[in-house]
Structure 1
């Protein structure tokens, strides 16, 4: 396993089901709220922020048996076009449903292609430190993450944990700068 969540030292854990919006507004910066509370495709969100397709790099995938159930786990890096690591995602599949999805595509993209109507139940939003990830992300300081379960036809499909590079929110300011430049250019033609 490339990364174990045991090495992530959580400083703040918000249980999403039992926390009011006030707690999210108080503890979580607005840019991070848009990423952490988003119930859409993470890959699509990263693509929208960076302006480029987010790439998926499968780091590890394995199966193991628990009593009479085979579980599958996959860890992937989501990267920008320059191979900068934007997020580490780990998915746990308690059933063979994963076999229907592409191993080399982001999960959200596969759901869209197979027209799976899913529901995302966010369990935790956390903030903490991990020297391993700080080194990989080439940054010092706190890192945000989340844990959630995806349901399909009212049945648990997978549980995911995602940890985000701190630089992800920098793309919000880049987008603002690009929008301002675009607006200024359009004013000249009006």
Structure 2
């Protein structure tokens, strides 16, 4: 793998599915991109691009991308073992966990997001919709600020995706009117290889 400064984060928590990282890359790595033998161009567009993953998944599969909400929980002030940019999102925080899947039921990604609890209902009026769809309905102008990328293991995600790891994940801030709105952590299923081709021949 290309060398990179680690993304600083606290220890993984059992309350959400954080990867156990084999490698992490910071914002400098995100900006520069990775060698193509480490992560293929098609996968880099998905992982490092600033477009909507919900929209990308729909275009790839030609099926609507639907959401299964598995958790909406208030979290304590300890940070919830979230990536460090959580400190930029005003608290107290509400954590939302979802599976992103095709309409026919194939799980494609896992996502956790942290919101300011007092304002979450303003932006997620229908909590069963993907974040992108909810914000698009409100015509909310956003900037997706990718903070880091990682490659690692999760037994829980292996079971949920029915795919062997390791997996690629990323985390980013959504900015709105110059303020951080939410922190989102996403992990993508290797099932997407059938649409995007191999991830890369030199994963480690």
- With normalisation by structure 1, the TM-score equals 0.81
Asked if 1:97 is matched to 2:110, the reply is no
Q: How does 1:5-154 map to 2 (within 5 A)?
A: 5=18, 8-17=19-28, 21=32, 23=34, 25=36, 27-64=38-75, 66=77, 69-100=91-122, 101=124, 102-154=126-178
Q: Distance in 2 between matches of 1:22 and 1:3?
A: 27
Cα pair 2:152 2:168 within 8 Å, conserved? yes
Q: Judging changes above 3 Å, is the alpha-carbon distance between structure 1 residues 11 and 60 closer, same or farther for their aligned structure 2 residues?
A: same
SS in 2 for 1:27: coil
Considering Cα pairs closer than 8 Å and 6+ residues apart, tell me whether 1 or 2 has the greater RCO. 2
Rg larger in 1 or in 2? 1
Q: Distance in 1 between matches of 2:52 and 2:143?
A: 11
Q: Distance in 2 between matches of 1:94 and 1:14?
A: 26
**Could you give the per-residue CA deviations for residues 97-135 of structure 1, whole angstroms, max 9, x where no partner exists?**
311123111111111111111111111111111122112
Q: Distance in 2 between matches of 1:58 and 1:11?
A: 28
The number of aligned residues is 171
Cα pair 2:74 2:117 within 8 Å, conserved? no
- With normalisation by structure 2, the TM-score equals 0.76
1:156 pairs, out of 176, 180, 194, with 180
SS in 1 for 2:136: helix
Tell me, which stretches of 5 or more residues in structure 1 are unaligned?
Answer: 174-190
Query: What's the C-alpha RMSD, in Å, of the aligned pairs?
Result: 2.2
Tell me, which stretches of 5 or more residues in structure 2 are unaligned?
Answer: 1-13, 79-89, 198-204
**Could you give the per-residue CA deviations for residues 54-80 of structure 1, whole angstroms, max 9, x where no partner exists?**
110000101245399421110000011
